[in-house]
Structure 1
C-alpha cells in the first residue's frame, strides 16, 4: 500500500448535515482517465463560472506551488474539501485543483488558495511556469466530498487520514510536507482539541526538532488507527467521523482497517473518482 503520511485531527465540531454525506462521496472506482472534466462528469458542480485574479504565489516545496486567488463575487462559495475547475484564457485543457484554504478565509478576505503540484499537464504547467500576479482566470466549484457542519447539529470528533502529494497534499519525506507549520501550530495552540501524526515511509535524514514529536515511520497500520480511535473514544462520547483522502490503494487499505475496527460504513467518508 502507498499510505505515506497520516494526519489525525481530533476536535469538537458541529456535525455535518445530510449534504455532507452524499452517496457519491463514497464512490469506489479506480478507473483512470486523463481529463479532469471527464473524470468528474458525475460530480456536483456550481452552475456559474466566476472570474478570479491571482493575488499571491509561493512555493510550498520544490514541486508544489500555492496559488492565492481573489474572487470578489458575492455568490461564490464552497465547502471544506471541494475543488475548482480551473479555466485559463487561451488554454483548452481545464485544470482540477483542491481548495486548500478554509471557507472562513473566503468570507474574511474574498480569496481562496490552491496547492498545485508540478506536472506536464497544461494547467499545472501554466501555474508553475507562466502564471503571474494579476493573471486572470475563471473558476467553478465542484465536488461531493466535504465537511459541512450545520449550526444546530451535535458535536462530533473528526479523524482525518490523508496521503499522497497533490490531494490536499501530504508526502514521503519531511521536506515534502506541506502546511506543516500551520498544522503544528494548531496542535500546540489547542492541545486538547487537535493532534496529528505525520507518517513518512522514505525519511532517511533527521527532521527538525519542532517536527520530531509529530513524526512516525512506516505506513498507516490497523493498530495505529485503533490507538487513535480509542483515544477519541476516551476523550468523550461524541460520534467520530472518518474522512479519507489519498491514492486508491490507501483508501482501500484504511477503509478496510476501519471496518474491521468496527467503524460503521456511514461514518467512513471518502472520494475516489480518479
Structure 2
C-alpha cells in the first residue's frame, strides 16, 4: 500500500476541537449492540454538535486527495489516500478537517473497507451546498489537496464469519446512498471471500436496495449497483425510484426503475421480521415515514437502523 508521506506536516496544521471520542466495538451479534442515531432540533446543528454522542476513533489521520470525479451534476466523488493505520467499518462517516476552513464536514464513506485494504484509499461522494466543507470540495479542492479525517459513527455492517445470516434491506434517499453503497460493496467483498473459501466464510443472506432520488442523473453509483445485482442475482436486487423525472429513461435502467416514492408494498415484499435487518439513510422525514411503515409491518425497532443527514 503506497501512501504519501505527509503525516507530520498535515497533523501540525490543525488546531482541533475534542468531542467525545472512543471506539465503540459493536459487531453485529444479534443486532442488539448497534446504536440507532436519532436527532431532532429546532435549529440547524453542525456536524460535530449532531454527532457529539456518537462513537469516534481517537486518532485523527492526515489524508491527501488523489482523484476527483464528477459523479453527477451536483455530486463530486473524492478518492483519498490515507494513512496506513486508518480503518473504518462499512457505513461509517468521517469528521473532515480542511486547512483554513473553520467548519468540520461530516461525510459517509461510499467505498468498502476492502478497497482500503487493497489500494490504501477511501472515497467520499459530496453533494454541492453552501456549507463551507462541501463548498470547498466543489470549488477549491484539487488533486493533491491535504486534509485530515477521523472516523466515527455507530451505523455500520460488520459481521464476523461466525455470525448468523441476515437479509439486508437498504433504503436510501438522495446522497443517503453513500453509507448504504459502502455496505453493499462490503457485502460483495464478503461474498467473494466466501466463494474463494468454498463457502466456509461469512454466511451472507440477501440484500435488497430501495433507492429514491429526484431523477436518474441523481441516482449515484447506479451502474455498479446494477452490476452487483447481475453478478449475484440470487443475492442482490434493487429498485430505483425517481420522483421528478421529466426525460426519457436509459433502457438499461428501465428494468430497475419506478416512478414515484418507495411504497409500503415494496417494503413489505422484502421484510421478514425474523431475518431482515434494515439500514436507512436519507432526509429525516423519509426516515421517519419508512421507519413507521417497517414497524407497522412487524419489524422490531432494534432491526431498523438509521442515519439522518440534513
Fold-level similarity (TM above 0.5): yes
Residue of structure 1 aligned with 2:112, choices 94, 102, 119: 102
How far has the Cα of 1:23 moved from its partner? 5.8
Matched, 1:78 2:88: yes
Aligned to 1:3: none
> Is the CA contact (8 Å cut-off) linking 1:20 and 1:147 kept in structure 2?
no
Aligned to 1:181: 223
Distance in 2, matches of 1:131 and 1:184, equals 30
Deviates more, 1:109-118 or 1:253-262: 253-262
Aligned to 2:282: 246
Secondary structure at the counterpart of residue 69 of structure 2: strand
How far has the Cα of 1:46 moved from its partner? 0.8
User: Higher relative contact order at CA 8 Å, sep ≥6: structure 1 or structure 2?
Assistant: 1
Matched, 1:264 2:300: yes
Aligned to 2:199: none
Q: Per the alignment, do residues 238 and 192 of structure 1 end up closer, same or farther by CA in structure 2, a change over 3 Å counting?
A: farther
How far has the Cα of 1:193 moved from its partner? 0.7
Q: Structure 1 stretches (4+) deviating beyond 6 angstroms?
A: none
Aligned to 2:75: 64
Secondary structure at the counterpart of residue 156 of structure 2: coil
Distance in 2, matches of 1:67 and 1:171, equals 21
Unaligned runs of 5+ in 2: 1-26, 180-211
Aligned to 1:50: 61
How far has the Cα of 1:17 moved from its partner? 2.1
> Is the CA contact (8 Å cut-off) linking 1:20 and 1:146 kept in structure 2?
no
Secondary structure at the counterpart of residue 185 of structure 1: helix
Distance in 2, matches of 1:265 and 1:20, equals 11
Q: For 1:81-230, list aligned pairs within 5 A.
A: 81-165=91-175, 168=178, 171-229=213-271
How many residues align? The count is: 253
How far has the Cα of 1:189 moved from its partner? 1.3
Distance in 2, matches of 1:80 and 1:31, equals 30
Q: Per the alignment, do residues 112 and 92 of structure 1 end up closer, same or farther by CA in structure 2, a change over 3 Å counting?
A: same
How far has the Cα of 1:163 moved from its partner? 0.6
Distance in 2, matches of 1:46 and 1:97, equals 15
> Is the CA contact (8 Å cut-off) linking 2:176 and 2:281 kept in structure 1?
no
> Is the CA contact (8 Å cut-off) linking 2:61 and 2:83 kept in structure 1?
no
RMSD, matched Cα: 2.2
Unaligned runs of 5+ in 1: 1-15
TM-score under structure 1 normalisation?
Answer: 0.86
Distance in 2, matches of 1:117 and 1:103, equals 22
